[in-house]
């Protein structure tokens, strides 16, 4: 029992934090928001500390869950990213988030518990429970956006396709059980020379693609980004995608073999990844509304993250940590900067960004650095994230995949620099006035920018910490 509690301590702390936020929201008091800020900050800091102190390997709950050095690092990044994102939410000035702040924080911390369990899942029932614990709060949050019509439509679409992906995952579990007689992930599964195991993995990949927004299962992403409160997008754009794809990476690599089914599965995964990189970039280039552009720009990143699942895990695991660190920091910096613009999210177009540098140089520089990192520009953390994927792909599969990645990177430079060009161009009439950043958000942006540049110079520093 002590061993189980020790291994689940970060999840328990986050769950207790979520319950405390819910209880405090029910209590009638004047300083409810301040109390919840304190509960939220202390709870996630303690959860991050307990995660950092965990042993490097434990298999517990009769093999249902597993903690490794890699899962510990991923969970630490998830908690740290959520802490920055939720501090940003707690500092919101909008009436909507003031009214629903307690509910938002309760739902997001509950979703974080699901993402942490998902990373450690080694059995299908736990996997499905973790999927739903991660997803259901996001359905509710999307419905609580600023525009009721858009929010309900986006939430309904997200709920429908999210539920459909869970059904597909259950079907994958049924096929898995039919071929192995067990719901536990096992090495023997890859050795079975049959069509059923291959179909099981294929349906699991479809479920992962739905949840992570990979092409061609991406159609819900843009509506969700436009409908959800802008303050919550730093969480929505990072945590679900990272946790779901990292689970799939662990699933593919922990039980890899040279079996025929594994080779076929690798080829299918590579096809999904390359299609997402190319078509995701093409879709992004066509967008003029900023949030739709940023929503679609996450598809190529998801494709590159998915590529790690077919690379040598013993070599790739450190580079996965670098990639998700830069991606998390860039998204937080990007959306906090956008939130300082006094305009509704659905009205932000590329042209409306013109002249921001003259209104507020710090905001424009924050946006530019985060966009350059997402594009993979040198001297930013994003450069090493993409560079490592190219090198590892070339060493494992030859020149074709790196060419596709570089082509996607070139297209990403086009649409990210198009945004940056508007930031520093001549100011238009009726653009943003009185752009203000609170002290807390200013601090978060500074932290993200400094870490992005430091990791751009020496990416190995993050590995020394984790």
Residue with tokens 């830069």: 326
Residue with tokens 């328990």: 12
pLDDT of residue 82: 84
pLDDT of residue 99: 64
pLDDT of residue 310: 85
C-alpha to C-alpha distance for 285 and 278, rounded to whole angstroms: 11
CB of 368 within 8 A of CB of 330? no
**pLDDT tens digits, one per residue of 264-303:** 788 888 888 888 888 888 888 877 778 788 888 888 888 8
pLDDT of residue 414: 85
pLDDT of residue 435: 67
Count of CB atoms situated within 10 Å of the CB of 26:
8
User: 289: which strand partners?
Assistant: 349
CA atoms within 13 A on the CB side of 376: 23
Stretches in the chain below the pLDDT threshold 50: 430
Burial grade of 31 (CB within 10 A; 0-12, 13-18, 19 or more) = exposed
Q: What are the structure tokens assigned to 240, written together?
A: 């679900």
CA dist list (Å): 419 to 70, 332, 385, 408, 428: 35, 17, 21, 17, 15
pTM for the structure as a whole = 0.86
**pLDDT tens digits, one per residue of 307-362:** 888 888 878 888 888 888 888 888 888 888 877 776 555 557 777 777 777 777 78
C-alpha to C-alpha distance for 88 and 336, rounded to whole angstroms: 7
CB of 440 within 8 A of CB of 89? no
pLDDT of residue 91: 59
């Amino acid at each position: 029992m002590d061993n189980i509690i020790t291994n689940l301590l970060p999840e328990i702390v986050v769950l207790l934090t979520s319950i405390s936020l819910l209880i405090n929201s029910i209590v009638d008091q004047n300083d409810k928001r301040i109390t919840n800020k304190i509960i939220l900050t202390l709870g996630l800091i303690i959860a991050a500390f307990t995660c950092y102190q965990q042993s490097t390997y434990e298999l517990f709950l009769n093999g249902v869950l597993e903690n490794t050095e890699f899962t510990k690092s991923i969970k630490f990044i998830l908690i740290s990213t959520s802490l920055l994102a939720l501090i940003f939410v707690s500092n919101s000035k909008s009436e909507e988030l003031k009214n629903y702040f307690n509910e938002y924080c309760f739902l997001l911390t509950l979703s974080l518990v699901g993402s942490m369990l998902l990373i450690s899942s080694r059995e299908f029932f736990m996997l499905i429970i973790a999927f739903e614990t991660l997803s259901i709060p996001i359905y509710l949050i999307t419905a609580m956006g600023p525009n009721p019509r858009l929010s309900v439509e986006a939430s309904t679409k997200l709920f429908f396709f999210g539920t459909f992906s869970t059904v597909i995952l259950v079907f994958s579990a049924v096929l898995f059980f039919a071929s192995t007689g067990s719901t536990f992930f096992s090495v023997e599964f890859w050795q079975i020379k049959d069509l059923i195991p291959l179909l099981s993995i294929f349906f699991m990949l479809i479920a992962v693609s739905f949840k992570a927004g990979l092409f061609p299962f991406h159609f819900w992403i843009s509506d969700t980004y436009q409908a959800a409160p802008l303050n919550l997008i730093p969480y929505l754009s990072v945590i679900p995608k990272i946790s779901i794809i990292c689970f799939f990476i662990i699933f593919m690599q922990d039980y890899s073999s040279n079996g025929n089914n594994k080779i076929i599965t690798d080829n299918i995964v590579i096809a999904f990844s390359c299609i997402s990189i190319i078509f995701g970039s093409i879709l992004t280039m066509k967008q003029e509304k900023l949030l739709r552009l940023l929503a679609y720009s996450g598809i190529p990143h998801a494709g590159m993250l998915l590529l790690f699942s077919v690379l040598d895990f013993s070599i790739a695991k450190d580079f996965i940590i670098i990639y998700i660190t830069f991606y998390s920091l860039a998204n937080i910096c990007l959306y906090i900067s956008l939130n300082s613009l006094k305009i509704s999210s659905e009205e932000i177009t590329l042209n409306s960004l013109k002249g921001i540098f003259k209104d507020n140089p710090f905001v424009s520089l924050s946006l530019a650095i985060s966009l350059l990192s997402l594009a993979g520009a040198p001297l930013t953390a994003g450069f090493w994230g993409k560079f490592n994927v190219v090198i590892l792909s070339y060493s494992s599969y030859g020149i074709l995949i790196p060419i596709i990645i570089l082509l996607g990177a070139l297209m990403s430079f086009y649409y990210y620099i198009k945004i940056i060009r508007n930031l520093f161009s001549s100011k238009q009439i009726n653009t943003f006035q009185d752009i203000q950043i609170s002290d807390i958000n200013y601090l978060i942006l500074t932290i993200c920018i400094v870490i992005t540049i430091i990791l751009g110079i020496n990416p190995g520093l993050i590995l020394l910490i984790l």
